[in-house]
Structure 1
Amino acid sequence: MTHTQPTRNGRTTSLRTALRQEVAGTIGLLADEQDFSAMRRYRSFTFDDHKTYLRQVEGLLKSLAAKGGHTTVALFDPDEYEEYCAETGLEPDTPASRTRFTAELASVGPAIAYEGQPLDDLVPELVDEAVRQATWQYASTTLSHIGPCAGCGQDIGRAAFARASYLIARAVDSVGSGAHHWVGSVPTTQGMLHAVLHVDATEPGTVTLDETEAMELTTLLALAIAHGNACALVVRTTTGDTQRIYGWRLKDERLEPLPAARVFDAYCNDTESGDLTAPEPGVDYCTAPDIADAGPAGPHCH
């Protein structure tokens, strides 16, 4: 029997096909109509309908995934793109410039890995990630620029972070077993800032949490401590088929439990009309546990 050897060109093509599967890619997504409209001023951007554009993006993502490719989706901001081109001297009205900008987005901007999820699910997740990063950057930058206390020379941002770290740790210890969804809220001149923390304490003696989320929540609380802002921490705890909602407010650099009635009002009153709404079935609106406070000194006053 005669055995035929693959041609050199055939083998090269096969190797290149295999190599493509090793290459990760990034798509810069124009998630809303406003950003899409801003890009239409460039002649090289040929789409004229946002819905059609989104369908084509989703089709491309599915096609790349079907071939074994790994693709990350990043938010494409036209204003940031324009600034990038001005700083780098690139001509903005070319696909090549948009590609270079998109490549950098994957390393510095909010991005989500495409894993087959519908674009309707991916876009809100991507926007949430962008808000989360913006909140973290604002809070951490603000803390780092506060500087030392005029009275004692202590770094205010660092002291506030140490205090916040202690309070968050004690609060996590106080809530006991269950799956805990934390939300921190702080009003600032930039609007209301939020941070989320998920804590899994369903297994006895084990507490699992996302360290990045914990850092973000701690930084947000530290920002409130450093500036004397209000701050609320609210927790939804799920244990089996039951749920409890409770929380604390920041007062004098300490976490003070919110009364159950106040928690109920916050969740069962329409914020626009003021009308009472039905409580969630199976949810107990209760008072948070007291937090033992023997950590870093409280109010920093001079």
Structure 2
Amino acid sequence: MTSRKGRSRRNSDCTAGGLRPALRAPHRSRRHEGVEQAFVIGVLTSAADFARARAWGVSDAPDHERYLADTAELLADALERFETVRARMFHPQDFEEFCVLHGLDPAEPAARDRYLVNPPLRTQLLVYQGEELAGDFVPRLVRARENGLTLRHADLLLDGALLGSAGPAEADEEHACWVRAAHQRGSEVFRRMLVGAGAGVYELRLRVDAPGGRLTAAARVLQWEDGVVRINDEELELVCAVLCAGLALELPAVAVLHGSQGSAASCGEYLPAAWAWSSGGPDWAPAARPVRLDGVAAQPGYSLGTVC
């Protein structure tokens, strides 16, 4: 399965945690003494969040629209200076809770720096590559936060083996191998769903009934006739993680793949399609009856075992 862009490399992060329109990360070349540098920033994604965070002195902008314009300029500057530029949603409530937990003053820039690169929250980071900030990128930041919370939930269910968050003393190679095997099975399930669907534009919706609350995931997929798939990396990661948790713990789950089947090569003919599968154990199978998930109705899907 080919994703939209490659995985980012591990970097030594130089943070720009303050949200003021000024580049606060060290002004270094793209590589400093052989170490790849990265720029990390938090983005207030809504006018309400912007208003709530102004008390902490995070921006001099008069309103959210001007703030986004200033942030876009800062990001463009960062792209010229740093090997990697990353962003995540700056969520005021999350930030306040983080400061209370660690005894930090939210008005101090150092508190924002620590919040942005807090290891448990790194699943919310996205690589910025020059996208229009106020266009698709801001909604992706919002989804990345929601996806990150789901990833953390799945990781806790799997005792830290999914994201590698278990401490060295807690590491259990047999358990880790078990989780890796479940992740591979989940990835294969998703691959077979897409191969069976063929070329088209689809959305996968996934729900796993897990202890502590449901795990949910969604991914938008564009698949060409030659099997090449276009999908956001963060959505692919979340789908595979939720499938992994469901299979590893044998939890009740349901998935719906729906959209338009077809391609320009077939004279531009597109047909509506919606398939459903379910799982309650180590495998996935066509749903036993029609399914409605998040308002989408689907008929039992094809057997994944017949898909190569």
State the TM bucket, normalised to the shorter chain. Answer: 0.5 to 0.7
Alpha-carbon offset, residue 250 of structure 1: 0.6
| Alignment partner, residue 202 of structure 1 | 225
Query: Could you tell me which amino acid in structure 2 is paired with residue 25 of structure 1?
Result: F
CA RMSD of aligned residues (A): 4.5
Amino acid at match of 1:36: F
Distance 2:287 2:66 in 1: 50
Q: Is the 8 A contact 1:43 1:93 kept in 2?
A: yes
Letter in 1 for 2:277: R
Q: Which of 130, 147, 159 lines up with 1:115 in the alignment?
A: 130
Letter of the 1:61 counterpart:
L
Q: Per the alignment, do residues 163 and 107 of structure 1 end up closer, same or farther by CA in structure 2, a change over 3 Å counting? A: closer
* Residue equivalent to 1:288: 301
Match of 2:252 in 1: 229
Q: Which of 204, 229, 241 lines up with 1:183 in the alignment?
A: 204
Contact 2:224 2:263 in 1 (8 A): no
Larger Rg: 1
Q: Name the SS of the counterpart of 1:231 in structure 2.
A: strand
What TM-score do the two structures reach when normalised by structure 1? 0.60
Gaps of 5+ in 2: 1-26, 32-36, 161-173
Correspondences of 1:56-135 after superposition (within 5 Å): 56-62=70-76, 64=77, 68-70=80-82, 71-85=85-99, 90-102=104-116, 109-135=124-150
Q: Distance in 2 between matches of 1:222 and 1:141?
A: 13
Matched, 1:51 2:65: yes
Q: Which structure 1 residue ranges, 5 or more long, are not aligned?
A: 1-17, 146-153, 269-284, 295-302
User: Compared with structure 1, are the counterparts of its residues 85 and 293 closer, same or farther at alpha carbon in structure 2 (3 Å cutoff)?
Assistant: same
Task: Name the residue aligned to 1:5.
Answer: none
Q: What TM-score do you get using the length of structure 2 for normalisation?
A: 0.59
Tell me the amino acid that sits aligned with residue 247 of structure 1. Answer: W
Q: Which amino acid aligns with 1:124?
A: P
Q: CA 1:207/1:141 → structure 2, altered by over 3 Å: closer, same or farther?
A: farther
Percent of residue pairs bearing the same amino acid type: 18
More relative contact order in 1 or in 2 (CA 8 Å, sep 6+)? Answer: 2
Q: What is aligned with 2:22?
A: none
Give the Cα–Cα distance (whole angstroms) in 2 for the partners of residues 21 and 76 of structure 1: 25
Using a 3 Å threshold, how does the CA distance of structure 1 residues 120 and 186 change in structure 2: closer, same or farther?
A: same
Candidates 286, 290, 296, aligned match of 1:256: 286
| Aligned residue-pair number | 248
**Aligned partner (choices 42, 47, 54) of residue 28 of structure 1:** 42
